[in-house]
Structure 1
Amino acid sequence: MPLAVVQDSTNGPLTMLWGLLVSFLASLTARSAVNGQSPTGLAPKAFLSLPLGTIKPAGWLHDQLIVQTNGLAGHEHEFYHYVSQSDWIGGNSYYSSLEEAGSYWFNGMIPTGVLVNDPTIQTQVQQFLDYVLDHQDSTGWLGPEVNTTKPRYLWGRYPFFFGAIQMVEANPALTDRVVTALHKFVSLANTMLHDGEGLEDWAKTRWEDFVMVLQWLYDFHPNGQEDLLVDTMKMLKWSGDPWEDVFKEEYFPKSAVENLPNPFPVLTWHGVNMAEGLKALPATYRFTHNQSDLDAASKGWDLLFQYHGRPSGIYAADEYLAGLEADRGTELCLVVETMFSGSYLYQVIGDPKFADRVERITYNALPATLTGDMWSRQYLQQQNQIAAKNMTPNPFPNDGPYSNVFGLEPNYPCCTVNHPQGWPKFISNAFVTTPDQKSLVHVYLGPYSVNTTLAGGNKVSVTVDTLYPFSDTLTTTITAKNAFTYHVRIPSWVSKGTIAINGAAPKSVSPKNGLHAVSVKAGTTKVVLDLPSDITIESRPHGSVAVHRGPLHYAYDIARSQKVLTANAQEPRAVDLEFDATGRWQYAIDPDTLTFHGSTPSGGNLPSPVFDSGLPPFTITATACPIDWEVAGDTFAAVPPTNPACTGEATNITLWPFGATKLRIGEFPTFKAT
């Protein structure tokens, strides 16, 4: 690792250098121990995931996937040059190349196609799988480098492997073909790693994704290759970036990083790499059995959100970690990768803080960075976003001025092909089982149906009827062949939650480690949960505040104009949109006046799409007053003024769920109404 020096308020350069040397020697000792007398087998997870298709979305969540399928995600295969079928048949595009775009698209569209039962998407991904596996060469390599002199790097295949695993889960008839191809590739990869081949900067930082694939093979289809699989895991870790050191508090950046030297390879502070790297240490733990790996992963998670977190649940990185200021950006790829990593962290470690965070990200940051119809997406979203346009000046030091425009591929194309994994993978991780597979656990709250068989042949079906997070009530009907224990997550923000079983009087929920246990008898059991929450205030920089209730963050939805900047020649619905504020947004609020307003939608159904201006049934009102608040150029809000003076009479404003806003103020100055 490079011995660059980081200096902060508590560590001088010599102290930091010494710490790095000690850390490096410790890693050598750990490496020797792992390569010498490794524990036998892989450590168990806290929870086990269910095969794709076991959990299906219902109600408004199903509608979200339909909107996504009818939007950019479901149609880009028809026209978008990186993944269009007309390009890849000739072998000319990334769709067949596995360099990035095709793998990303494949990984996200498989669960989308399965969960909405879309035959067109299912045919497309099957064609992709067939094309890739049909072109595997005799060495085991998969990708465009077959029969070429192109250098062979491992990274671009990892999302493809995740996709192939999901296809096997949804269609077990594919098992032999996919598993055989994966084992052939692993044998080659192991040799390459021992020879120091196949690694470049991106592969060195994203090694954990391949480790997870290897662990799936080890857990379900080892084919007598356990030693080779574990050895390959070790080689990936020790040839990759040292996440156990990156996440140590003495090295972790506590502000935007553009002016800080990184003591590790520079891509470790890259936002999306950080999102993926969150999986590294729980993956390592499974073959080291070291509790220190889990402790470091948990600490790194906390540091990331402490120093770079957003009220919308996610963290800031406009390419690289960006601190706490509300004008800095968060990449859409980062959002969906953090959701996936958080689910994996919860399943390995079992700490409910991971599930709470993923649910908050999903119901706020994810929809906020897409238009309601999901035909246009941002590269970067902002917490305080007063325009979405070509920015002058540009607040993003490493990304272009077009980054917060809603469009087909503003700034970079990666989020166009990678964003579709967000909603379906959230759904497919919404339920898990205990390691003994005797109990079912409802993790992410929302409307679902589940059909599975637990240990002992216990066939179980579950339906969850709810508008959550736009309702506090969930009605769950469970049908089981045999008695078992059902667990449901009670989020940390719930206040005075109750549970009623089979019509009995409600009782207070009593979660342990975030889970409330329900003893379910054979037959049918009906569970009604009421999970109200209080309005809470989060302190933000410059004396500003953010407003929450339950999983939802609330923001002022700025009135806006819309201008079409460009439309795709083949698909006119794929447009780049400029949004500009048409109304006042410079307000301070009095937090003591916040009032929640919840209503039941007409007919009991939410509007479609629910994440668009004025459509959610939950709002919060506040007493506010106009203030002077500077603008940088004409495109983004300066930092919120501290203790501003009112420049006019107090008025009432309405705050809406953050995900429904496209221009917004999410961090407010405060004042005291008289």
Structure 2
Amino acid sequence: YGPRQGIETCASVEFMLSCEMLLKIAGDLTWADRCEDVAFNTFPPAMTADLKGLHYLVCPNQCQLDGKDKSPGIENGGDMFSYDPHRYRCCQHNVAHGWPYFAEHLWMATPDNGLAAVFYAACEVTAKVGNGRQVVVETRTRYPFEDTIRLSVGVEKPVRFPLYLRIPGWCAKPVLRINGNNTPAHAEPGTFLVVDRRWADGDSVELTFPMELRLRYWPRNGNSVCLDRGPLTYSLKIGQKYVRHGGTDEWPGWEVYPTTAWNYGLVLDATKPLARQFEVRTKTWPADNQPFAAEAAPIEITAQARKIANWKPDERGLIEEVQSSPVKSDEPVETVTLIPMGAARLRISAFPWIGEGPHAHEWRRPK
């Protein structure tokens, strides 16, 4: 185990589908949260941003994507990291199913003749509700990069039906507006907010999920830490150099090498709120509507960090495992940039963190 171990691209797709099926069977929204976690953070960097290449393994920490055998540092032998349109057997087929499966499960029918918004993405759904009347609901949103979802209802005649709106497990205080009016939103995280009313043509719903910063610690993985905001996990932005690695001009293969330092530990201060330790910056939405790309990511977060001089790749170019945090470092404090994990082909997502005193550890070179 550890953040340099990876998940197969096929497994990301099948995990998402399994969560979608379990949600339909059990109605437990835990499965929706787990599906989104993989869909937004792990699945996108399995492919190049133009979707023409994929690789076999996606790891939380990957500093170099070349074609060399990384075993026994990882459990798979051979070329597992370089991007290629043909090499990885089953993954070429499964990778194309991930987003269609996800889109198929954005909306679900409910036993009381209602309609449930299970996942949020720009879409339009046509369904029968109430006493069998047809309704069209259009969703406009840039979630998970933005926090607001806007729905518009289209019906020939007014019809009463319950509209179920999923509240993610990380959202404690959703904000609801119906036809521009603030409406009480009484729903616990990880449940449905149900709006049961008579709907008319042109009715609108605006749902906002305030996105707070959160830290997650991993005691079994060197007590490393991840930074989350809403459903997105954030990774160190590492400069990328793409080097041609087989394929054809139309369907090229690529190796990806770092052009900037990646061996950082975060500088955290338990006495300060996270909003004072990290700065969230929004950027212009990408013109090609592909937000899962390092230079086009519409959100960046700046953080304070120090380099860990002894943290290096091993002899096979595989990132060394994280060691126990807190970690000592005499390097100067730097401001680093984090981007959504799904946009980072090279990434550090499970960070060591810097400390001092008797509880801090020296980072030692492996023997």
**Aligned AA (1:633):** E
**Aligned AA (1:660):** A
- Which is richer in helix? 1
Offset of 1:608 from its aligned partner?
Answer: 3.0
Counterpart of 2:166?
Answer: 489
Counterpart of 2:101?
Answer: 425
Offset of 1:478 from its aligned partner?
Answer: 1.6
SS at match of 2:301: strand
Offset of 1:523 from its aligned partner?
Answer: 1.2
1:551 corresponds, among 231, 236, 240, to: 231
**Counterpart-to-counterpart distance in 2, 1:595 and 1:513:** 26
Counterpart of 1:434?
Answer: 110
Counterpart of 1:639?
Answer: 321
- Which is richer in strand? 2
CA shift in 2, pair 1:518/1:600, >3 Å: farther
**Counterpart-to-counterpart distance in 2, 1:458 and 1:555:** 46
Counterpart of 1:399?
Answer: 76
1:334 aligns with 2:14: no
**Aligned AA (2:318):** F
**Counterpart-to-counterpart distance in 1, 2:153 and 2:355:** 49
**Counterpart-to-counterpart distance in 1, 2:283 and 2:256:** 31
Counterpart of 2:298?
Answer: 617
Counterpart of 1:657?
Answer: 340
**Aligned AA (2:71):** N
**Counterpart-to-counterpart distance in 1, 2:73 and 2:94:** 21
**Counterpart-to-counterpart distance in 2, 1:645 and 1:422:** 41
**Counterpart-to-counterpart distance in 2, 1:407 and 1:630:** 26
Offset of 1:513 from its aligned partner?
Answer: 5.8
Matches within 5 A, 1:285-364: 323=1, 325-364=2-41
Tell me, yes or no, if the aligned pair for 1:329 and 1:396 is still in contact at 8 Å. Answer: no
Task: Give CA deviations for 1:409-447 in whole Å, capped at 9, x if unaligned.
Answer: 33x3110122111001101111001134x1000001121
Instruction: Give the number of the structure with larger relative contact order, counting CA–CA contacts within 8 Å between residues 6 or more apart.
Output: 2
Offset of 1:371 from its aligned partner?
Answer: 0.6
**Counterpart-to-counterpart distance in 2, 1:423 and 1:393:** 29
Tell me, yes or no, if the aligned pair for 1:495 and 1:533 is still in contact at 8 Å. Answer: no
Offset of 1:401 from its aligned partner?
Answer: 2.7
Offset of 1:393 from its aligned partner?
Answer: 4.2
**Aligned AA (1:490):** I
Tell me, yes or no, if the aligned pair for 2:168 and 2:190 is still in contact at 8 Å. Answer: no
Tell me, yes or no, if the aligned pair for 1:393 and 1:633 is still in contact at 8 Å. Answer: no
Offset of 1:392 from its aligned partner?
Answer: 5.0
CA shift in 2, pair 1:396/1:334, >3 Å: farther
1:670 aligns with 2:353: yes
**Counterpart-to-counterpart distance in 1, 2:199 and 2:341:** 42
SS at match of 1:364: helix
SS at match of 1:374: coil
1:517 corresponds, among 194, 198, 214, to: 194
Counterpart of 2:363?
Answer: none
Moved more, 396-405 or 513-522: 396-405
Give the root-mean-square deviation of aligned CA atoms.
Answer: 2.0
CA shift in 2, pair 1:623/1:497, >3 Å: same
Offset of 1:577 from its aligned partner?
Answer: 0.6
User: Which has the larger Rg?
Assistant: 1
CA shift in 2, pair 1:397/1:551, >3 Å: closer
2:265 corresponds, among 584, 588, 593, to: 588
SS at match of 2:181: coil
Counterpart of 2:118?
Answer: 443
**Aligned AA (1:556):** L
1:459 aligns with 2:142: no
**Counterpart-to-counterpart distance in 1, 2:287 and 2:143:** 10
Counterpart of 2:153?
Answer: 478
> Structure 2: any 5+ residue segments left out of the alignment?
270-275, 357-367
Matches within 5 A, 1:182-261: none
CA shift in 2, pair 1:594/1:375, >3 Å: farther
Tell me, yes or no, if the aligned pair for 2:129 and 2:161 is still in contact at 8 Å. Answer: no
Offset of 1:590 from its aligned partner?
Answer: 2.1
Offset of 1:459 from its aligned partner?
Answer: 1.0
Counterpart of 1:416?
Answer: 92
**Aligned AA (2:123):** Y
Offset of 1:520 from its aligned partner?
Answer: 3.3
CA shift in 2, pair 1:464/1:591, >3 Å: farther
SS at match of 1:343: helix
SS at match of 1:631: coil
SS at match of 2:242: strand
Offset of 1:475 from its aligned partner?
Answer: 1.1
Offset of 1:373 from its aligned partner?
Answer: 0.3
TM, length-normalised to structure 1? 0.49
Offset of 1:498 from its aligned partner?
Answer: 0.8
Tell me, yes or no, if the aligned pair for 1:483 and 1:520 is still in contact at 8 Å. Answer: yes
**Counterpart-to-counterpart distance in 1, 2:55 and 2:254:** 10
**Counterpart-to-counterpart distance in 1, 2:141 and 2:40:** 15
**Counterpart-to-counterpart distance in 1, 2:238 and 2:308:** 15
Tell me, yes or no, if the aligned pair for 2:4 and 2:59 is still in contact at 8 Å. Answer: yes
Tell me, yes or no, if the aligned pair for 2:283 and 2:297 is still in contact at 8 Å. Answer: no
Offset of 1:382 from its aligned partner?
Answer: 1.3
Counterpart of 1:599?
Answer: 282
Counterpart of 2:208?
Answer: 530
CA shift in 2, pair 1:511/1:397, >3 Å: closer
Tell me, yes or no, if the aligned pair for 2:239 and 2:258 is still in contact at 8 Å. Answer: yes
SS at match of 2:243: strand
> Structure 1: any 5+ residue segments left out of the alignment?
1-322
Tell me, yes or no, if the aligned pair for 2:172 and 2:189 is still in contact at 8 Å. Answer: no
**Aligned AA (1:560):** Q
**Counterpart-to-counterpart distance in 2, 1:542 and 1:399:** 22
Offset of 1:646 from its aligned partner?
Answer: 1.8
Tell me, yes or no, if the aligned pair for 1:472 and 1:530 is still in contact at 8 Å. Answer: yes
Moved more, 506-515 or 452-461: 506-515
Moved more, 328-337 or 644-653: 644-653
Tell me, yes or no, if the aligned pair for 1:616 and 1:656 is still in contact at 8 Å. Answer: yes
Offset of 1:476 from its aligned partner?
Answer: 0.9
SS at match of 1:632: coil
Counterpart of 1:539?
Answer: 217
